Amino acid sequence: MTQSHTVQDHVGSSADLDFETNDARQEVVVIANRLPLRYSTSDVGGEWTPSPGGLVSALTAVLSESNGLWIGWPGATEYDSEPTYDGIRLQPVDITAEEYEEYYLGFSNATLWPLYHDAIRYPEFHRSWWHAYQAVNERFAKVAADSVAPGGIVWVHDYQLQLVPRMLRRLRPDVRIGFFLHIPFPAAELFMQMPWRKEILEGLLGADLIGFQVHTAAVNFSRIARRLTSAKGNAAVLEYDDREIRVGAFPISVDSAQISAKVDDPAIRERASAIRSELGDPELVMLGVDRLDYTKGIRQRIRALSELYSEGFLIPGRDVMVQIAVPSRESDAHYDVARRNIEQSVGETNGDLGLVGKPVIHYIHQNLPFDELVALYLAADVMLVTPFRDGMNLVAKEYVMAHSDMTGRLVLSEFAGAAMELTGAFMVNPHDLDGLKDVIRAAVSAPENTARARMARMRRSVLGRTVYDWADSFLGALRTDPVIAPLTVDESRPLTP
């Protein structure tokens, strides 16, 4: 059956909602741009496959435990059948082909995404994109308002839905609303560029609790909110519209137990050994796993490796790099250019330095199953995570969890949120190519006992705060009336500004 669009033209007041006829409303509703499954069509038909990204992997872990409702976009304008997912009730929200262009590719990913990632690419500001963003946010708010039980909780996720908290509050003043931003929140110098800056802040201020990945982002938000809206208060508690809004850092994490179980699975361990032998039994395996995104520093990483091979520190055949680049936002021109640049660099490096049957970089542009990723983590001696800016980066934490035997070395950008917690990593400024080469050299050459101690420190950090702790701390704070201190992280290290 092909679904028809259920687009609402506008959202009115709470009087528009017919609670009597809706008897399946949920205590806890999660709302994110994407469902955990997305629909795609090919010559052989359509299928539901797991959606990419850290948000989906984190929330899937949490929601499959609690049998909650997940509201999101199925990733296609037309799809066959309702998606189903283990233990999670899914409520698709449709968007039109035009909204896909203007709300998703446009305002979400060509305005907000670059603006919130240090304007690594120039953010484009178009009024029609803004109007589409408002319309789609209204639709999500209406579906959430229809789905949540009286006095229930709605947890809104990420930059695509920043207007939902305020819209939802107008419709359902009885519910508690939490908002969590998975990506960075920029400093005022950048955020002030946004033509609709006040509207976005007021959208977020509709929540009772606003969570960010790191303390710096929370402080950026509170400071700008006090400057541009009538909000008063301090970094942790704002007073706005006769309400108290809590703001804090809730660093997201991974399902440590799930990864540990996979690491102990003989089939996955065998696969890790097989990967090493398929790579030609090299002495050193380096690994990168990223969505193919210009923020991730993939090309910079390849340039650093290429120079290390040319200079003889790395030897073709003896040392190999595996780069998994998960396809992402492929209809956006910036992503297309990023892909071509990366693939050109891979081709040049292999052409200049590879041997027959022994490329120096094994490049895979595919969305791999999680078991295969865990096998790759296990097989890798050094993991390279070098984004120019990243909200958290769960790949770094997944790699750490895969190394229960304390092997493995992590090279980590100081501009990833994960750097605040994974202090045992080999820290790098990815903008500094020579610095990146030095840090890769240091990671490869570090004595085993030093590397093991670093890994042990990182594992303690990840084991001490799993994705369930993240969700519990956020939902606990949202459910609690008195002001409680949000989870804090040791940010004494002088890293990012």
* Binding stretches for ligand F6P (CB under 6 A): 33-34, 52-56, 158, 182-183, 328-329
Query: Minimum distance between the CB of residue 340 and ligand F6P, rounded to whole angstroms?
Result: 19
Token pair belonging to 399: 């790699």
Query: Closest distance between ligand F6P and the C-beta of residue 305, in Å?
Result: 25
Helix 127-147 and helix 164-171, axial crossing angle in degrees, nearest 10: 40
Nearer to ligand F6P, 331 or 344 (CB): 331
User: Rounded to an integer, what distance in angstroms lies between the CA atom of residue 153 and that of residue 475?
Assistant: 9
What's the closest the beta carbon of residue 55 comes to ligand F6P, in angstroms?
4
The CB-of-57 to ligand F6P minimum distance in angstroms stands at: 9
Name which of 395 and 412 has its Cβ closer to ligand F6P.
395
> In angstroms, what is the minimal distance from the CB of 293 to ligand F6P?
8
Q: What is the largest CA-CA distance in the chain?
A: 73
Query: Measured from the CB atom, is 38 or 246 closer to ligand F6P?
Result: 38
In the complex, the smallest distance separating the C-beta of residue 159 from ligand F6P, rounded to whole angstroms, is: 7
Nearest to 112 by CA among 183, 14, 64: 183
- Cβ-based nearer residue to ligand F6P, 53 or 288: 53
Core vs surface per residue 394-415: b (16+ CB within 10 A) or e: bbbbbbbbbbbeeebbbbbbbb
Nearer to ligand F6P (CB atom), residue 282 or residue 387: 387
What's the CA gap between 398 and 454, in Å, rounded?
15
Cα-Cα-Cα-Cα torsion 359, 365, 368, 370, nearest 10 degrees, comes to 80
Half-sphere exposure of 143 (CA within 13 A, CB side): 26
Q: Which two tokens stand for residue 189?
A: 């110098």
For ligand F6P, the nearest residue by Cβ is 53
Strand positions, DSSP E, 11-167: 26-34, 37-42, 45-50, 69-73, 89-92, 148-157
Nearer Cβ to ligand F6P, position 60 or 306?
60
